[in-house]
Amino acid sequence: MLLHIVARGRIGRSPEAELVERYVKRLSWPYKLTELPDTGGKMPAVEHGCRIVMLDETGQVLPSRDFAATLEKWRDSAVREARFLIGAADGFDDAQRASADLLLSFGRATWPHLLARAMLAEQLYRATSILANHPYHREG
Ligand SMILES: C[S@@+](CC[C@H](N)C(=O)[O-])C[C@H]1O[C@@H](n2cnc3c(N)ncnc32)[C@H](O)[C@@H]1O
């Protein structure tokens, strides 16, 4: 299953870009990044078999094992792409939120979108490590 991050804003050469790179280069699942401008731009077509995960402060706060279990369930039911949407400064509106298969929150604090991208990259690596029984993830 393709892990596809579709993010608003350019990350360029930055500390956040290094963080994203640190985690995505370790992913054993197919991965793709699409950057869109802060406003406008063309969202890649959503094909059949795509699940939309919208990152949003108002969403569900999932333990990493539950996030991993969601990815596992989708992968095992022949979902071809999990698409992760990260908003710009104004975030998403209610209609956009309603269109998501999963609203995912990294807590109730508002994070800069580039940090949210780095946090997502880490969680994707963590989730896929959990599914591979790799010892990266530990719980006390
Ligand atoms: C600066 S935030 C936008 C905040 C804005 N107040 C709003 O209306 O949502 C930019 C993007 O970063 C992501 N983000 C920021 N904080 C987040 C959090 N706690 N959980 C999940 N995603 C978050 C979301 O994708 C959000 O659209």
CATH of residue 79's domain is 3.40.1280.10
| Dihedral sign (CA 47, 26, 10, 105) | positive
Domain contains 112: yes
Distance 103 CA to ligand 1 centre (A): 11
Domain contains 57: yes
Residue 48: what pLDDT?
92
Show pLDDT as tens, one digit a residue, over the chain (140 residues).
999 999 999 999 999 999 999 999 999 999 999 999 999 999 999 999 999 999 999 999 999 999 999 999 999 999 999 999 999 999 999 999 999 999 999 999 999 999 999 999 999 999 999 999 999 999 87
Which residue from 14, 132, 113, 124 is spatially nearest to 56, judged by alpha carbons? 113
Atom of ligand 1 at shortest range from CA of 86: 25
Domain contains 42: yes
Place of tokens 């309603």: 98
Spatial strand order of the sheet with 31-36 comes to 31-36, 2-8, 81-86, 50-61, 102-105
Angle between helices 113-131 and 64-76 (to 10 degrees): 70
- Say yes or no: CB of residue 9 within 6 Å of ligand 1: no
- Say yes or no: CB of residue 8 within 6 Å of ligand 1: no
Domain contains 139: no
Residue 139: what pLDDT?
82
Total tally of structural domains belonging to the chain: 1
Domain contains 64: yes
- Say yes or no: CB of residue 112 within 6 Å of ligand 1: yes
Range of the domain at 11: 2-131
Instruction: Report the distance separating Cα 114 and Cα 8, nearest Å.
Output: 9
